[in-house]
Amino acid sequence: MAIFFSFLLYQGMVKWSNIKTFDGYNLKFPQTMQLKDGLVAKFDEFSQIISVRKGERELGYDMLIKSKDRIKCVDMEVQPEFKRRGIGGLLHAISVMMMKENKAKNIYLDALPQAIRFHFNKGFRTDCTNKENAYIYMNSIIRSNTPFEDLKISAKKLMFKLTSGGKEAIKEADKLYDTYLSRVIHNNISIDDANLPATLCMDLKNKDLKKHGDFYNGILESFGIDYRI
């Protein structure tokens, strides 16, 4: 059972508390927040789930697991009738608040094909983590039904480089796949034609928060949360 430490910290109008997780890591989380339009955002310290509710109804949730210096978004879901109302963006914004407060290196997740566009538009980028994933993602480009011949040629070259290359080759694969996703999204190419992988490793790095600060601050402000990324 998680151990609860009851002391409060303040950042703007947001109150914070700490728990020690099942794995023994300290996790700082926001206390229950009253939002605009009667919404409530609450973090359950035992399940480590952020939920957004209106009355008794749960509109969406996000399960976050903290390790030593990273936070994993294990499962995010928004009820179908409440999609495209900013709930998913709000959940990400709260997790970004937690990344900042916990001084975590990044938030990472495994995105399903239908969610890749959503996460990419929220600042998450490809994080291959290993050669096997890099091969899969490069093959995704090569076998796609897209007009991006320049990227297909680059992906083929990088496949050879990955056989002998180390971390630098994997980083190149990350950048190339991000370029590919940007074009896929810009040209509104379907999941099938884009040949997106069954899951895509993605992350949002703490060091990149300045680039996305205004975006997330806008989300927080729209829901009445007084906090600056």
pLDDT in tens, 183-203: 999 999 999 999 999 999 999
In this model, does residue 7 exceed pLDDT 70?
Answer: no
Structure tokens at 125: 């980028």
Mean pLDDT of the chain: 92
Amino acid of residue 184 = V
203 part of a folded domain: no
pLDDT at 87: 96
Residues 142 and 54 in one domain: no
Q: In what order do the strands lie in the sheet with 106-111?
A: 33-34, 39-44, 49-54, 57-66, 70-78, 106-111, 200-205, 125-126
Residues 34 and 91 in one domain: yes
Residues 79 and 43 in one domain: yes
Q: How many CB atoms lie within 10 A of CB 56?
A: 5
This prediction's pTM = 0.89
pLDDT tens digit sequence for 202-213: 999 999 999 999
Instruction: Give the 3-state DSSP-derived string for 77-123, with helices as H, strands as E and coil as C.
Output: EECHHHCCCCHHHHHHHHHHHHHHHCCCCEEEEEECHHHHHHHHHCC
User: What percent of the chain stands above pLDDT 90?
Assistant: 86
Residue the block writes with tokens 């976050």: 64
Amino acid of residue 189 = I
Q: How many domains does the chain have?
A: 2
CATH number at residue 102: 3.40.630.30
Compute the distance between CA of residue 108 and CA of residue 220 in angstroms, rounded to an integer: 20
Torsion angle of the four alpha carbons 179, 115, 73, 131, in this order, in degrees rounded to the nearest 10: -40
Residues 79 and 170 in one domain: no
Sort 48 into a burial class: Cβ within 10 Å, 0-12 / 13-18 / 19+: buried
Beta-bridged to residue 19, according to DSSP, are 4, 27
Structure tokens at 27: 């996790």
221 part of a folded domain: no
Residues 50 and 148 in one domain: no
Compute the distance between CA of residue 84 and CA of residue 72 in angstroms, rounded to an integer: 23
Compute the distance between CA of residue 108 and CA of residue 223 in angstroms, rounded to an integer: 24
pLDDT tens digit sequence for 64-108: 999 889 999 999 999 999 998 999 999 999 999 999 999 999 999
Residues 153 and 89 in one domain: no
Q: Give the ranges where 10-166 is alpha helix by DSSP (H).
A: 87-101, 113-121, 131-142, 149-164
24 part of a folded domain: yes
Residues 69 and 149 in one domain: no
Helix pair angle (131-142, 149-164), 10° resolution = 160
